[in-house]
Amino acid sequence: MSHPHPELPLPPALPSKGLRIVALGGLGEVGRNMAVLEYEGRLLIIDCGVLFPEDHQPGVDLILPDFDYIKDRLDDIEAIVLTHGHEDHIGAVPYLLRLRRDIPLVGSRLTLAFVDAKLKEHRIRPVLRVVAEGQAERFGPFDCEFVAVNHSIPDALAVAVTTGAGTVLHTGDFKMDQLPLDGRVTDLRAFSRLGEKGVDLFMVDSTNAEVPGFVTNEVEIGPVLDSVFAQAEKRVIVASFSSHVHRVQQVLNAAHAHGRKVALVGRSMVRNMGIASELGYLDVPPGVLIELKQAASLPDDRIVYMSTGSQGEPMAALSRMANGDHKVQVGHGDTVILASSLIPGNENSVFRVINGLTRLGARVVHSGNAKVHVSGHASAGELLYCYNVLRPKNVMPVHGEVRHLVANGALAVRTGVPAERVVLAEDGVVVDLVDGKASVVGAVPCGYVFVDGSSVGEVTENQLKDRRTLSEEGFVSVFAVVDTATGKVLAGPQIQARAMAVDDAVFEEIQPDVVAALEEAIAGGATDTYQLQQIMRRVIGQWVNRRLRRRPMIVPVVVEA
């Protein structure tokens, strides 16, 4: 298996009749999935998603793929193919369309409906091309065939892209549930037909590659939810992804069976389920859905809240309930169901929410203590099955952390794919498919792009480091007035600390040393206020580190009289 070298050079020119693949997100992480395919000077993008921030990225709302690689080639983009409607595959579309609004968006009916609703909030009217499984379309030099796959959202598609360089099959996120709720199985007949024709590069979902066996069927969740509802004494609160139509369907069915009404909580949940119901993907039993404001008038044992926030997102409804600052006040006897699996990196946030809800007296049911969720991603047994059906010439694991990609590559090798034909790449690594062989040829710059409020890409890693310092070590401000003509400190230094659990009086000990350092520097010819500020920073920083065992952010200000 070929690993990308950390110091890869810029790639050479793409050979004639070669296909180039560059992932701008999704390789080495779970989220912000985006792959750029290039052939004969034209580009096809597969997915354009976001990554949600972790605890060490304070203040960040979303993380986008790095568009710099294609920023100067926007007119070369033929289309953006969206495999399904999850945020980690569609969430960054508005930010790319800000750069060029008329890029065609290609996807299934539900996927494009979710994207269109999102783009309305950004005041963008997109060019939409609805496709379905079994359909073939041509976008410039790219012949695309769409294949049904099942996932934890309806209407997911894999895409087979054929050019003069060969055929690439990209699975998107998928699993092989043989008893899906909507009856729409992953089309292994189409996979087999493509395998007979020849798949030159198989780009395959890696998220569950470390998990042995096969994913549990979705239908097995229904009886578990039914049992939890039967035992619930008071209110039931179910948290799930706002796009998980199948899970919401099962909650509606269980509520109907137990004589409960369901109120949707969270703007994205209300929006997405409205779309799914309108398009026929969600079958709402008569009279079950009610408005949130109506729920308060019902007895506790007759209400279900279907909420967002299953990943512990700070501003989502469930986190606010756990903190006691939501209109739905959780209390003793309530049952909370977290109907989703943990996304890597979210564990602490989710456990914090579980602890908060438990402290309020709720019974919390989650995937760790009950079968209330199954994954939407193929486990090792399903991946092995796919490799044997397709017999791909080359394999490029996608969608997952490094350990997932490596595990997926090892599965390919076990089925007979030569190790040198398994390409393990990370974000920004350039892979060329030339003369039937895929290989790493270089890398392009590819970093994180942070969305912070209304700013996009303006927050840097250094600024995040400053935020972490502020949150962990505290803040010290220092102010002094100097007269460079006389070489004297006329006022100060005034030293104040914040978030350091010390009284400002403790700094009286270091003030004489700061004055001495400033006057010595001025006597030595230092007159630049910036230089004097750095002297103050150094003297105080060393003292605070030695005396208080802290490394706070220090902001010095020197004013010349």
- Output the known binding site: 373-377
Give dist(CA 247, CA 269) in Å, integer.
12
At a CB cut-off of 8 Å and minimum separation 6, what does 279 contact? Answer: 109, 110, 113
Give dist(CA 303, CA 247) in Å, integer.
17
Token pair, residue 304, equals 């279900």
At a CB cut-off of 8 Å and minimum separation 6, what does 23 contact? Answer: 34, 35, 36, 398, 425, 426, 427, 428, 429
Cβ distance 380 to 210 under 8 Å? yes
Give dist(CA 255, CA 229) in Å, integer.
7
Token pair, residue 277, equals 């119901």
Q: How far apart are the first and last CA of the chain?
A: 67
Binding site residue list for substrate: 373-377
CA distances from 186 to 39, 210, 341, 376 (A): 28, 21, 21, 12
Which of 191, 203, 190, 208 shows the shortest CA–CA distance to 152? 208
What is the torsional sign of CA 140, 145, 148, 149? negative
**SS3 label, residue 380:** helix
Residue 506: half-sphere exposure toward Cβ, Cα within 13 Å: 13
Angle between helices 267-278 and 245-257 (to 10 degrees): 90
Which of 368, 50, 84, 44 shows the shortest CA–CA distance to 205? 84
